[in-house]
Amino acid sequence: MWERKTLLPPEQSCWIVCGYVNATSHIQILRIANIPNWYFERVIFPEQRFWFEAPPDAQLEIHTSMMVSAILSDKIPCNLLRIN
């Protein structure tokens, strides 16, 4: 089942719907920090599917939880995660 979160500021009408699946056996933290005046962070469990809305130029950072710390595993442009 997909979980969908919408946290759009009213002035953002051209944002895109994106999807991400945690295909690992580890908890991941998804973060978007490259958009001024906006911050996005969510915890995603193994095999969880997640929908979210973001500006097309946003970059999703994926931090993988390893015991006591989290390591930046990847950065994916949200445009590549776009759901049509």
Question: For 13-34, how does the pLDDT look when each residue is reduced to its tens digit (9 = 90+)?
Answer: 689 999 999 999 999 999 998 9
How many domains, the chain? Answer: 1
The owner of tokens 């969510």 is 42
> Distances in Å between the alpha carbon of 32 and those of 1, 3, 7, 39?
23, 17, 13, 6
> Distances in Å between the alpha carbon of 63 and those of 11, 13, 46?
29, 28, 13
Question: Which residues face 41 on adjacent strands?
Answer: 31
Which segments of 2-72 does DSSP mark as H helices, in order?
none
R_g (Cα) of the chain, nearest Å: 13
Residue 11 lies in a domain: no
What predicted TM-score, i.e. pTM, was given to this entire model? 0.70
Residue 27 lies in a domain: yes
Domain that holds residue 60: 16-81
Bigger pLDDT: 24 vs 68: 24
